[in-house]
Structure 1
Amino acid sequence: MVFHAGAGRAAPGKAKEARFAAVWKPRAGNVFRRHRSGSSVFCTKAKGVAGCGRSQLEHHKASKALVCETARRGRRVAVRAAESPSKGKQQPAAFYRVRIFTFIGILVGYACYYLTRNSLTYTAPVMVASKELGLDVSSIGAMTSIFPIAYGMSKFVSGVLGSMMSASRLLGLGLICTGLINVCFGFGSSLAWFCTLWAMNGILQGVGGPCCARILTSWFATEERGTYWGMWNIAHNLGGFMAPILAGSAAATLGWKWGMWAPGMIGIVVGCVLVLGVKDKPETAGFDPVEEEAPPSAEEEAGDEVPESKQSIKQILFDNVLRNPFIWGMAFTYFFVYVIRQGVTSWFVFYLLQEKGASDAGIAAARVSGLELGGLVGSLLAGRLSDMYISKSKGKGGVVGKRVQVVIAYTIGVALMLLAFRCVPAAWPAGQWLCIFMIGFFLYGPQMLIGLCGAELVGPSSVGASEGFLGWVAYLGAANAGVPLSIIVRDYGWNAYFTTLLCACGGALLLLSPMTNLKSYTQRVESKKKLN
C-alpha cells in the first residue's frame, strides 16, 4: 500500500510544517511513502494504521510529530502538521508592492466616494443663486433629506449582497456609477430629476465602506490591521477636504454644472483604476493568505456544515452576523457613538453662537474646525495603540477585547472633554478650540475601532455583511441626533443637551464592558485547530 501526500512550505528559521491529504493506493510491500520537497519518508504499515517511522523525517529536522488517523469515508487517512503553515511565513517582495498599491487604491477610492457624496453641499449655494433653476433652500433640503435614507439602507443591503461578489470590482463599479450620476446631475434642470438622481447616489454610496473593509482585512494581519485601518479612515477627512476645494471652486468659477461634473469625472477615472488594478485578497494576486482560514470541521467533512466561503447570503447574514450577540453589542455602541458625533457636528456651531460668545457663524465654524483635525490625529493613534497593545500581549487575551479596551479609554476621554467644553469660559476662544480638538480626537477613535472590531469578529466572507449592519445602525443613531436633539435644546436648554451626550457615552461604556476579552475570528480558528 502507498501513501501520497502534498508537501507544505517551510517558514524561515523554523522546522518545516505541512498539511497532508492522503490517499490509499495498492502497492506491494505494505509500505507508506510520503513525498516531501523531493525526499521520501517511508512508514511501515502496522495493523490498521498505527503510526509512522521518523528515520528520514529527523534528517530533515521536522519539529512536530505527525498524527495518522483513519478517515470517516473509505480508506482515507489525513495527517496535519501541528502548526499553521502561514504563521511566520515570509511573503515575497512583490506581495508588499501589490499590497501598498491596493491600500492606496482603497484609500483614494473611498476619498472619491466622499467627494462625489459632498459635491452637492458645495454646489447647492450656486444652484440656489441660479435664476434659471428656480430652486430655494427648501428644494435643497428635499434633496439632502432623501440621501441619508437611501444611504443607510444601501449600506446594510450592499454589505450583505456584496459578500457574494468581488469586493474590488464592486467598489470600482460603484464609484464609476456614482461618478456618472454626478455627471448626469449636471444635465438636469428640474427638482424631480435632482431628487431621483441624489437618491440613486445614496444607494450607490453604501457600497464603498463594506467593500473597503473586506479588502483591508484580507490584506493585513491582526497585529498590523489597526494601524492600517486608522490610516484608511483618513479617507473621510481627505474626501471632505477635497470637496470644497474642487466642487466649490468649480461651481463658483465655471458654473454649478461643473461643480458636479468635475467630481463625477474624477470618480469615473478612479473607479476604472480600482476595477483593473485592485485585488480582493492575496490569493487573487497569487500570494499566500496573511492569515489561515479555519480547518474543515468534522461536520464540514461529513457534509453536514457548509464552509463559510461557500455559505449562502442567508447563512452569512443570519448565522454569522445577526445571531452573534457581540455584533449587536457593537452595533448599539456604534448607535451611541454616532448620536454623539452627529450631535457635536450639528449643534456645536449653534452652542458657540448662543453660549460662548462667537459673534457670527464664520467665527463659530473656525472654532469647530478643530473637530476634524483632532479626529484625524485620534483615529490614527487609536489604531496604532490597539496594535501595540495586541503585540505586547503576546497572544494572551482576546484581540477584539484589546481594541475594545482602547475604545473604552477613548469614550471616557470624550465624556471628560464634553464636560471641559461646557465649563470653558466664553472669553477664551483658544480654550474652546482646544476642547473641540480633543473631543474630535477621542470621538473618532471609537468610530474607527468599532468598525474594525465588527470586521474581526466574523470570518472574511462575512465582513461586508457585518460592516453593512453596523453602518445601518450607526446611521439610525445619526438620525436621532437631528430632530430629537433639536427638541431637547429648544424645550430644555443646553444643559439637557450635554446631559444627553454624556448619557450616550455611559450607554456605550455599559455595552462595551462585557466585551473586554473578546477573541477575534482568527483566534477562534486557532483554538479550534488545537482541539482538532
Structure 2
Amino acid sequence: MTRLGTWQIVMFSTMFVGYTLYYYNRKSFSFIMPYVIEEDNFDKPTLGAITSSIYMSYTLSKFAGGIMSDKVNASRMFPFGLLGVGLLVVAFTLCTSLKMMVVVWFVQGLFQGMGWPACGKLLKKWFPPSKLGIYWSLLSTSMNIAGGAGPVVAALLSSSYGWRTALQASGLVAIVVSFLSFVILKESPSEVGIETAFTHHKKKKDTSEPTSVIDVVRTPFLWVLIMYCLLNIFMANAISDWGQLYLIQELNYSPTTGGVFVSAFQIGAVIGSIVAGYVTDKQVNKQGLRDAGSARFPFLLVTILALLFSLHCFNSLVSSESNLLFICVLSFIMGFCAFGHQSLNGVLVIEHSTPVMSGTAHAFFSLGGGVGAVLAGYPLSIVAKHFNWYTSLIIVEGAVILHLLIMLSTWNISTAIGKRRIKSE
C-alpha cells in the first residue's frame, strides 16, 4: 500500500469514529429518555424542551459550521467541536435545574455543527473524485451505526449504572477521541509531505476568479440540489417516522411490526448509501466531472423511480392482511433509495463546488434538509390529525413525483457551483 493510501485509511477511520461519537452524543438524551423518566420523573414537556433545544441549535450551527470550514483549518475544527460536545455532555449530567439543562444541551448543539462540514472539507482534500462518493457514503453510515447501536448501549449502561453515568461515559469517550483527532487529522496530503496527482476538477484550464458567498448563492445548480435535499429529507423522515404509525394505527399491526418496518428501512439505508457511492464513483472515474449534468445522475434517476414504485405499492397494496416479508421488502427498498439518493446529493455539492467555497455551498444545501425535516414533522402530523396517515403518505408520494419532474427538467444543467468565469485570452 502506498503512503497516501495508508494516510487515507488513517484519516477516514479517525473521522468515522469521531463522527459516530458526534451523532451518538447528539441523540444520547433520546436514547436514555425512559431511564430519565424512571429516575427523575421528568414529564413530557420537560423532555420535549431538552430535545428541541439541541435540534434548534444544531440547525443553526451546521449552517454556520459549513461557512466556517472555508475559513479555518478543518482538521482542527473537527476535534475542537468533538471536545466541546464531550465536555458539555458531562456538564449536562451535573445540572440540577431544568433551565440549566436546556441551556447546556442547546450549547452542545452549537458544537455539533462543526463535525460534518469539517468531514466534507477533509474528504474533498484527501480523496479524488473517483473515490469521493464511496468514502462519503461509508462515512454517512456512521450515523446509522450510532443510531442502531446507541439505544442498546445506552440501555445497558443506564440500567446498570444510571442515566447520568451513561451520559458521562459517552462524553468522556468523545473527549479522549477528540485529543486523538487533534494529533492524527491533517488538513491535506501536502501537510505530511505527500504530493498528489489528482485534482477535483478534471476540466479545461481554470479561468475562474476568486469567488464569494454571493457567487455560491447565485448558482442555479446549488438551488436544484437544495430542492433535492429538501424533498429527499422530507420523504425519508416521513416514511421512517410515520410509516410505522400508519401500520399500527390504521392497519392494526403490532408495535413489533412497526419496529421491524423501521429496522428494514435503516438496513436499506446503510446498504443504499454504500452502493450509491461505489456505483457512481465508477461512472465518474470513466466520464470525469462534467460541465453539464453529472455521471451520478442516472443512478439518482433509477433510485427515485424505484422509490416512487415502492412507496406507491406501500400506499396501495399493503393492507391489514399483508405478509410481513412483503412489507419489509418495500421498507428496505425505500430506505435503500432514499438514503442512497441523499448521500449522492451531498457528494454532488462538494465535488462541484470550488475548493475554497465547498463548505459554504454545503451549508446552504443543509438548510434545505432542515426545512424538509420540519415539513415532515408537525405539518404532516396535522394532516394526519384532520384526515389520516394514509393521506399524509399520499402527499409524500406527490413529493416524490415533484422530485422526479425537477430532476428530468434539470438533467443537463450547468454543474459549476460558485465559480465565476472570465474570458480566456
Task: Please state which band the TM-score falls in when normalised by the shorter chain.
Answer: over 0.9
Question: Which residue number in structure 1 is paired with residue 160 of structure 2?
Answer: 253
Distance 2:226 2:402 in 1: 12
Closer/same/farther in 2, CA of residues 135 and 397 from structure 1, 3 Å limit: closer
Distance 1:370 1:346 in 2: 13
Closer/same/farther in 2, CA of residues 441 and 399 from structure 1, 3 Å limit: farther
Provide Cα deviations, 1:296-355, integer angstroms capped at 9, x if missing partner: 978x8xxxx54x6xxxxxx2x222x21111101101111011111111122112111123
Q: Which has the higher strand share?
A: 1
Amino acid at match of 1:144: T
Q: What pairs up with 1:46-125 in 2 under 5 angstroms? A: 93-125=2-34
Provide Cα deviations, 1:147-167, integer angstroms capped at 9, x if missing partner: 221111111111102211111
Closer/same/farther in 2, CA of residues 528 and 112 from structure 1, 3 Å limit: farther
Query: Could you tell me whether the CA contact under 8 Å between 1:336 and 1:504 is conserved in 2?
Result: yes
Q: Which moved more, 1:416-425 or 1:477-486?
A: 416-425
Amino acid at match of 2:274: L
Provide Cα deviations, 1:366-413, integer angstroms capped at 9, x if missing partner: 2321010001111111111111222344x4855861213322221111
What is the Cα deviation at residue 421 of structure 1?
1.4
Equivalent of 2:100, from 193, 198, 222? 193
Larger-gyration structure (1/2): 1
Question: Which residue number in structure 2 is paired with residue 172 of structure 1?
Answer: 79
Distance 1:518 1:220 in 2: 25
Equivalent of 1:483, from 363, 373, 378? 378
Q: Which moved more, 1:485-494 or 1:249-258?
A: 485-494
Distance 2:358 2:375 in 1: 26
* 2:118 is the alignment partner of 1:211: yes
SS at match of 1:431: helix
What is the Cα deviation at residue 521 of structure 1?
5.4
Query: Could you tell me whether the CA contact under 8 Å between 1:168 and 1:278 is conserved in 2?
Result: yes
Aligned length: 420
Q: Which has the higher helix share?
A: 2
Closer/same/farther in 2, CA of residues 461 and 479 from structure 1, 3 Å limit: same
> Unpaired runs of 5+ in structure 1?
1-91, 309-314
Query: Could you tell me whether the CA contact under 8 Å between 1:218 and 1:289 is conserved in 2?
Result: no
Amino acid at match of 1:479: V
Distance 1:137 1:488 in 2: 23
Question: Which residue number in structure 2 is paired with residue 379 of structure 1?
Answer: 273
Equivalent of 1:494, from 389, 408, 419? 389
Q: What pairs up with 1:124-273 in 2 under 5 angstroms? A: 124-130=33-39, 133-273=40-180
Closer/same/farther in 2, CA of residues 147 and 164 from structure 1, 3 Å limit: same
* 2:399 is the alignment partner of 1:510: no
What is the Cα deviation at residue 514 of structure 1?
4.1
Amino acid at match of 1:401: S
Distance 2:278 2:220 in 1: 27
What is the Cα deviation at residue 518 of structure 1?
5.1
* 2:168 is the alignment partner of 1:275: no
* 2:373 is the alignment partner of 1:464: no
Query: Could you tell me whether the CA contact under 8 Å between 2:289 and 2:295 is conserved in 1?
Result: no
Report the aligned-residue RMSD: 2.5
Amino acid at match of 2:52: S
Provide Cα deviations, 1:127-175, integer angstroms capped at 9, x if missing partner: 1112xx4421221011111222111111111110221111111011101
Equivalent of 2:214, from 296, 318, 323? 318
SS at match of 1:401: coil
SS at match of 2:376: coil
Distance 2:34 2:388 in 1: 31
Distance 1:356 1:438 in 2: 21
SS at match of 2:32: helix
Closer/same/farther in 2, CA of residues 150 and 425 from structure 1, 3 Å limit: same
Q: What pairs up with 1:317-336 in 2 under 5 angstroms? A: 317-319=213-215, 321-336=216-231
Question: Which residue number in structure 2 is paired with residue 419 of structure 1?
Answer: 312
Query: Could you tell me whether the CA contact under 8 Å between 2:55 and 2:109 is conserved in 1?
Result: yes
SS at match of 2:259: helix
Distance 2:125 2:413 in 1: 20
> Unpaired runs of 5+ in structure 2?
none
- TM-score normalised by length of structure 2: 0.92
Distance 2:218 2:69 in 1: 19
Amino acid at match of 1:338: I
Query: Could you tell me whether the CA contact under 8 Å between 1:168 and 1:279 is conserved in 2?
Result: yes
Provide Cα deviations, 1:242-269, integer angstroms capped at 9, x if missing partner: 3223222211210111121111011111
- TM-score normalised by length of structure 1: 0.74
| Larger relative contact order (CA 8 Å, sep ≥ 6) | 2
Query: Could you tell me whether the CA contact under 8 Å between 1:371 and 1:436 is conserved in 2?
Result: yes
Closer/same/farther in 2, CA of residues 148 and 265 from structure 1, 3 Å limit: same
Provide Cα deviations, 1:91-140, integer angstroms capped at 9, x if missing partner: x821111111001111111111111111101212111112xx44212210
SS at match of 2:294: helix
